[in-house]
Amino acid sequence: MSTANGIDKEFELPHASVARILKSKLPEGVSVSREAKQAFSKSAGIFILYLTAASNEFCKDSKRQTLSAKDILEALRSLDFGDFIEPLEVALDGKSQYYVAPFCSDICFFQICEKVQTLEKSPS
């Protein structure tokens, strides 16, 4: 099902999860508009699809059908998201896959928030 602007709702992350991550990672007292939460949700969903597609290419090149963490790390490197690699490797080290996803999401989301704050502070 498509929305008015052509982006499928299925690509959005759950709004409650996005709101929880924003609240936990932004300074106290900072409020985020509903539209901004929606933008974060859509952007994160699209990023996940983009990363999945790139990871799948590494998987295909290795003649496998199952994506691995190595594929995702290689995709992050090839897409110039190298800043995400070390936190992801730390999260993956000795952790069950069932606990890695929320932890990595928080780390990556926090890094994205930091980059946005840096861009907002830089002179135009």
Confidence check: pLDDT of 19 > 80? yes
What does the pLDDT read at residue 7? Answer: 53
Torsion of CA 97, 99, 104, 110, to 10 degrees: 170
Tell me which residue range forms the domain holding 80: 9-121
Question: How far is Cα 18 from Cα 11, in angstroms, rounded to an integer?
Answer: 13
The total domain count for the chain is 1
The answer to whether residue 2 sits within a structural domain is no
The answer to whether residue 4 sits within a structural domain is no
The answer to whether residue 1 sits within a structural domain is no
Task: Give the tens place of pLDDT for each residue, 44-96.
Answer: 888 889 999 999 998 899 998 888 888 999 999 999 998 888 888 887 775 54
The answer to whether residue 75 sits within a structural domain is yes
CATH number of 100's domain: 1.10.20.10
What does the pLDDT read at residue 101? Answer: 44
The residues facing 2 across adjacent strands are: 8
Q: How many CB atoms lie within 10 A of CB 74?
A: 19
The answer to whether residue 78 sits within a structural domain is yes
The answer to whether residue 74 sits within a structural domain is yes
